[in-house]
Amino acid sequence: MSGSLLFQSLVLGVLLGGLYALLAAGLTLYFGVMRVVMIAHSAFLILAAYLAWYFNKETGLDPLLSLVVTVPLFFAAGVVMQRLLITRLRPATLTMMSVLLTFAIALFIEGMLGFVFTGTQRRINLSYSGSDIEFFGAQIAVVKLVAFGLAAVSLALLYVLLKKSRFGQALRATIQHPQAAQLVGVRTDRVAGLGFGIGLATAAVGGTALSLDATIYPSLHWHWVGPLMAIIVVGGLGSIPGTAIAAMVLGIGQSLLQVELGTTWAQTLFYIALFVTLMVRPQGFFGGRLAQRF
């Protein structure tokens, strides 16, 4: 592998890792606030991508503008989903049953997408689709840069929200110790609902970012479930910094392996990382299981 190719894949890996970090942050939020494993996250991702594509097809405007609609919509959907469905599950079996319930939601979305938009593969054509930027000898597609910028902005917003706002304080308290949070007057059920909404809003952003640069089809979400799950396990379930580091490391690793092995075998990196984590450190490599900090 030549030096410039190595640098190119490294840069692409960082861009990819940023997107992964945003998507996995949502999963970590769900797990933190409700101990819920949200299989449907990647299905919502594809749904957002489809909405962006449809928006672009109908109006001809930039798909990024669809965020104005999809982000509030997904936020509301998250709150409703948590309040109407997830809280109905019995606490004793919540974790297991939430997997099945969100799995059903994922299937539902996949089936509806297939029904409404058919199984045809779709792609957005943008004026800047083909353009590249030269960066120290590496060619970087503008769409990838835009997607990364979107992810970085959202992650920064998420960080500020969690660290600086009063709601963020309540959310972190709910994640760390729900009973104690209730004792000091945090309405944990409401906070959990809003946290769920925020998680789903990140899926709206991530899906739109994805739609800029990917060919989408209804069953695509299965390709995302595995890597995202691997990231949150490697990062330590519930820890947002751990998730971000794991996303970056695995994104870069995948990008580097892709050059030598091709896309399919490079994907196995995620699963190998997952199994190694479970064998060596089941609580995750970065940050503990349900780490106390953000």
Partner 1 sequence: MPSASDTRRAPAPAQDAAAGPPRGPLSTGNVVRGAAFLVAAALILLFPALAPNPFILFSGVIVASYACTATAWNFMGGFTGYISLGHAAFFGLGAYATGLLTGDLDWPPFVAWFVAGLIVVVLCVPVGIAALRVRGASFVIVSIAFVLILLLVAQAWADLTGGSNGLVVPRPFPDLSRPEHHRAFYFLFVALLAVMLLVWWAIDRSRFGAGLKAIREDEDKAQALGVPTRDYKLVAYLVSAFFTALAGGMYALWFGDLDPIFQFSILLGSYMVLMALLGGVRHLFGPLLGAVIVGSALEFFKLEFGDTQLHLVAAAVLLGIVVLFMPDGIIPAARDLARRFGPQGTSIREMTAAELLERNRAAAARTQADADAPQSKEDRP
User: Which residues are near partner 1 by CB under 8 A?
Assistant: 31, 35, 37, 39, 85, 88-90, 93, 95-97, 99-101, 103-108, 110-115, 119, 218, 222, 225-226, 229-230, 232-233, 237, 262, 264-265, 267-268, 270-271, 274-275, 278-279, 282
Minimum CB distance to partner 1 smaller for 148 or for 217: 217
Which residue, 39 or 252, is less far from partner 1 as judged by CB? Answer: 39
What DSSP designation does 140 have?
E
* The pair of three-digit structure tokens given for residue 114, joined into one six-digit string: 């297939």
CB atoms within 10 A of CB 15: 24
Q: How far is the CB of 94 from partner 1 (least distance, A)?
A: 9
CA atoms within 13 A on the CB side of 178: 10
Please report how close the Cβ of residue 274 comes to partner 1 at its closest, in angstroms: 5
Shortest spacing between CB 53 and partner 1, in angstroms: 17
- Min dist CB 223 to partner 1, Å, is 8
Which lies closer to partner 1 via its Cβ, residue 102 or residue 154? 102
Q: How far is the CB of 262 from partner 1 (least distance, A)?
A: 8
Give 3-state DSSP helix, strand, coil % of the chain, rounded to 5: 75, 5, 20
**What distance in Å separates the CA atoms of residue 36 and residue 100, rounded to the nearest whole number?**
10
Residue 122 three-state SS: strand
Measure the CA–CA gap between 171 and 33, rounded to whole angstroms: 7
Residue closer to partner 1 by CB (options 168, 227) is: 227
For residue 141, give the 3-state DSSP assignment: strand
CA–CA separation, 216 and 239 (whole Å): 30
When the beta carbons of 110 and 154 are compared against partner 1, the nearer one is 110
CB of 59 to partner 1, least distance (A): 26
Give which of 160, 163, 182 is closest to 172, Cα–Cα.
163
CB of 2: closest distance to partner 1 in angstroms?
25
Q: Report the residue number, 190 or 289, with the smaller CB distance to partner 1.
A: 289
CB of 71 or CB of 233, closer to partner 1: 233
Cα 47 from Cα 104, distance rounded (Å): 15
CA angle 15-51-84, nearest 5°? 100
For residues 203 and 217, give the distance between their C-alpha atoms in angstroms, rounded to a whole number.
Answer: 17
